Structure 1
Amino acid sequence: MLFPFLIMFREGVEAALVVGIIASYLKQTGRTHLMKSVWLGIVLATLVCLAVAIFLQISSQDFPQQEQELFAGVISFVAVGVLTWMVFWMRRAARSIKGELQSQIEAAIQSGDKWGIALVGMAFFAVLREGLETVVFLLATFQQNLGIQAPVGALFGYAAAVAVGVGIYQGGIRINLRRFFKWTGAFIILVAAGLLASGIRAFHEAGVWNALQTVVFDASRVLPNNGFIGSLLAGFFGYNDAPTVSEAIVYFGYLIPTMLLFLGGNAGQKTTARHS
């Protein structure tokens, strides 16, 4: 439940941050009549994301077992790619996003856009980007058969993100964006490494990848996948009680350099900020 919650919460906060900045700026400048354009963009993006999620979920269920495993592996790899891009992009954009959005809003309004079409587009693409990323992440999670916990966790994450968005708009919530995206980003990189290992395992079960299948260790008697703790670790981090050499290689081959680059980049930004 925690991983779907975190994914939905983080992605929701990113979308809520953009929408909250737009709404707050319109409120501060006495242009609340343009909020209908923002809501229209949000609704349209939400409908598109729901349609994509339903289509992918229904399509994957029609596949034979081997094709389902292949689909799960592909989705896992796509999710890891998008996750990685997301955490690095937000680390760079967190500091300047408010000023850039306000400049874009002012430019759109001064261009004579009486119907607020530009605001519809800004809200639409902000929500659509985060929504489609969330669809990919959650679909990869649902492929792991976590039962009702996954959708329930996602629902709670969505509700928490909406609450944060309302708080941002009302001015009652102020988030240290750099710290928030640093720690959630580090956790997501850890989760992404597990997704990558799960993807390799799915490719093997689909008959696509059969190399390096020697088992590194067998912890099934100590910490089995179907036990309470094992199932939690499997849901959060892609734990496997009998990982193969190929799973271990992709797990640590991704985790170590990516985490060092992510955390090292944060340290580099601090140093630059001190000297600027």
Structure 2
Amino acid sequence: MLVPFLIMLREGLEAALIVGIIASYLRHTGRGAWMPAVWIGIFLAAALALATGAGLQFASAAFPQRQQELFEAFVGLIAVGVLTWMVFWMRRAARNMRRTLTGALEDAFTGRRHTLALIGMVFLAVAREGLESVFFLLAVFQQSTDRSAPLGALLGIVTSVAVGLALYRGSLRLDLAHFFRLTGVFMLLVAAGLLAGSVRALHEAGWWNHAQQRVFDLNEWLPLDSPLGAILSGILGYQPAPTLGEAVVYGGYLLVTLGIFFQRARRSSPAAHRASHGEPS
């Protein structure tokens, strides 16, 4: 439940920040009458994400067992790639998010089709977050037995909307730089677990049969069906008896991504401090 909650909280808050910047721009430039176009863009993006998720879920249910494992591995690999890209893109690009969006809005209102341009901007921004979330949640749901995972995702969406509204109205001051830094580390840990799970699914599908020797076996001390084991499995992709291939990709992924992440964090810390007053870094 915690992983879907945090995934949707982060993704939802990113979308809420973008929509909040657009809504604030419209309000401060006397264009509040254009807000219905923003809602249309949000609705269309949400409909696309829901339809994509439902379509992928129904399609996978019709696959034989071996194809289901392959589909699980495929979705997991996509989720890892998009999740990694999203974490690093957010750190690099979010400091200029407000300036970029307002510049694009000014360009949109210099043309003739203001409504279509505004709907398109909101749709693309929210749809990107929504489609990312679809692959994250599909991968998490397929690799987890937690029945409360959908509830966690729903709570994450509701919380992100509430936080976004509070930020927009000025009633909440949140250190966004610190928030996105912490959730960035968490997302990389989640991605490492998804990557190891994808390797395991590839083996079960018969596509990967190398490095299958067990590195260690903790079933006697921390089995997967224990409360702590279930929590660690749901959050970090813990396996009590991982294969060499799973351990290598898990540790190798974290070694590379966390190294780059913290190196960039040290370089951008002054800018991140300035961004915490209004935008994430």
TM-score with structure 2 setting the length: 0.93
- Please name the residue that 2:67 is paired with: 67
Deviations along 1:141-192, one digit per CA (max 9) or x if unpaired, are: 1102423211010000000011022113222234333222111101100111
Q: Secondary structure at the match of 2:207?
A: coil
- Please name the residue that 2:47 is paired with: 47
Query: Number of paired residues?
Result: 273
- Residue segments in structure 2 that go unaligned for 5+ positions in a row: 274-281
Amino acid at match of 1:260: G
- Please name the residue that 2:81 is paired with: 81
Q: 1:74-113 alignment to 2 at 5 Å?
A: 74-113=74-113
Q: Secondary structure at the match of 1:143?
A: helix
Amino acid at match of 2:118: L
- Please name the residue that 2:187 is paired with: 188
Quick one: distance in 2 between partners of 1:137 and 1:271?
A: 31
Farther off after superposition, 18-27 or 172-181: 172-181
Q: CA deviation at 1:273?
A: 8.2
Q: Secondary structure at the match of 1:96?
A: helix
Quick one: distance in 2 between partners of 1:173 and 1:36?
A: 25
Distance 1:93 1:231, change over 3 A: same
Deviations along 1:186-245, one digit per CA (max 9) or x if unpaired, are: 110011111111111111111111100000011001111111111111111111010010
- Please name the residue that 1:222 is paired with: 221
Contact kept in structure 2, 1:12 and 1:162, CA below 8 Å: yes
Contact kept in structure 2, 1:95 and 1:178, CA below 8 Å: no
- Please name the residue that 2:28 is paired with: 28
Quick one: distance in 2 between partners of 1:171 and 1:93?
A: 23
Deviations along 1:120-149, one digit per CA (max 9) or x if unpaired, are: 011101110000000000000110242321
Q: Secondary structure at the match of 1:79?
A: helix
Contact kept in structure 1, 2:177 and 2:272, CA below 8 Å: no
Q: CA deviation at 1:27?
A: 1.2
- Residue segments in structure 1 that go unaligned for 5+ positions in a row: none
Percent identical residues: 52
Q: Secondary structure at the match of 2:268?
A: helix
Amino acid at match of 2:204: E
- Please name the residue that 2:279 is paired with: none
Amino acid at match of 2:186: F
Quick one: distance in 2 between partners of 1:109 and 1:135?
A: 32
Farther off after superposition, 257-266 or 105-114: 105-114
